[in-house]
Amino acid sequence: MSGLWTKKDLLGLEDLSKDELELILSTAESFKEVSTREIKKVPALRGKTVLNLFYEPSTRTRVSFEVAAKRLSADVINIAAETSSVRKGETLIDTGRNLEALKADIIVVRHNASGAAAILARHVNISVVNAGDGWHEHPTQALLDIFTLKEKLGRIDGIKVSIVGDIAHSRVARSNIWGLTKLGAQVMVCAPELLIPPAIEKMGARVTHDIDEALCNADAVNILRMQFERDEKGAFPNKQEYFKRFGITEERLKKNNKNIIIMHPGPINRGIEISSEIADCKNSVILEQVTNGIAVRMAVLFLVSGVQEKKDEATD
């Protein structure tokens, strides 16, 4: 790992080099300790303002970013699009420019359109962090998944990770595939036929529709929630059928792989994609992922905030 961070924004893992990914992970390692202190706060972003701009409902990601920003001593303002001027017809770009005029330093944006964060980043000089854009990317979720894997397995290079669930509608899957493959891991995706997007193999992931195959050789399985609310074309099996064919159960793990690490970005649906016993079993790192999310988001906010400063100096 070498070199300093030079990007104003974090839009996706597709844009990042291996070195940049490793820099975020090692910075997050240093930040993890801050949350274990008696006073869980460092002054690194004192006087900076972080705006959480959320066009989609989200509790865990927003709260995680909020906690991360506050542990860096930044001021945080949350904007939910339903209650903002978006309802009065303001465009994303205009909203972004207004936030910039308020002298915010970082916008954390969640939007239902793929590419929204990138558009915003092009039109403002302040930093933009993608907190999920449509089906495109959710970089900080993948970074915390990878961070957790590295913590558990000691490395990413050479490990095997299976991602099971609604791959077609999943920005988490996309970001994970980009990040993991760049760091040398092998990724397999597993889902019903209609929930595998056609281009996924070009991203470097292997495809299977057989859950046993996905489990038997993997070091970890990342289980995605079935996003039934996104099923417009009737591509989803019903819940019972899905659990029977793809649900991660004790029985299935006993048969294939008892030591596999169980991951899930949340919210979990017990009895649909994962059985209750497995969600709470000793191999499950689901809650550790939540803890690690803070450290990873602190690292990202810290790194991008430094670059924006440079830009300001250049325009002075």
Partner 1 sequence: MREKAKILDKDTIARSLMRMAHEILEKNKGTQNLCLIGIRNRGVYLASRLAGCMEKIENRRVAVGTLDITLYRDDLTLIAAQPVVHKTEIGFDISDKIVVLVDDVLYSGRTVRSALDALIDFGRPRSIQLAVLVDRGHRELPVRADFVGKNIPTSKKEMIEVRLVESDGKDEVVIMEKD
SS3 132: strand
User: How far apart, in whole angstroms, are the C-alpha atoms of residue 210 and residue 201?
Assistant: 16
Of these, 18, 35, 37, 231, which contacts partner 1 (CB under 8 A)?
37
Residue 95, interface with partner 1 (CB under 8 A)?
no
Q: HSE of 74 in the Cβ direction (CA atoms, 13 Å)?
A: 25
The dihedrals phi and psi of 77, each to the nearest 5 degrees, come to: -125, 130
- Alpha carbon of 12 to those of 3, 127, 314: distances in Å? 19, 13, 25
Q: How many helices (H) and strands (E) does the chain have?
A: 11, 9
User: Quick one: which segment of 40-48, 116-124, 220-228, 229-237 binds partner 1 (CB under 8 A)?
Assistant: 40-48
**Is 245 an annotated catalytic residue?**
no
Question: Known catalytic residue: 140?
Answer: no
Judged by CB under 8 A, the stretch of 39-47, 87-95, 154-162, 238-246 that binds partner 1 is: 39-47
Q: Which of 54, 55, 242, 302 binds partner 1 (CB under 8 A)?
A: 302
DSSP string, 264-313: --S---BTTTB-HHHHTSTTB-HHHHHHHHHHHHHHHHHHHHHHHHHHHH
In which residue are the tokens 């449509």 written? 134
**Annotated catalytic residue 36:** no
- Determine which residue in the list 244, 245, 255, 310 makes contact with partner 1, applying CB under 8 A: 310
- Three-state DSSP class for 246? helix
- CB 190, min distance to partner 1, A: 36
Position among 10, 11, 25, 27 found at the interface with partner 1 (CB under 8 A): 27
- In angstroms, what CA-CA distances link 7 with 80, 100, 133, 287? 26, 18, 19, 30
Identified catalytic residue from 136, 138, 182, 264: 138
Beta bridge partners of 10: 129
Q: How far is the CB of 38 from partner 1 (least distance, A)?
A: 6
Q: Binding to partner 1 by residue 244, rule CB under 8 A?
A: no
Stretch that binds partner 1, among 26-34, 140-148, 218-226, 248-256 (CB under 8 A): 26-34
C-beta of 30 vs 59, nearer to partner 1: 30
Stretch that binds partner 1, among 31-39, 106-114, 217-225, 277-285 (CB under 8 A): 31-39
- Residue 278: count of CB within 10 angstroms of its CB: 25
Chain residues that interact with partner 1, rule: CB under 8 A: 4-6, 23, 26-27, 29-31, 33-34, 37-39, 41-44, 47, 72, 299, 302-303, 305-307, 309-310, 313
Catalytic residues: 60-61, 88, 110, 138
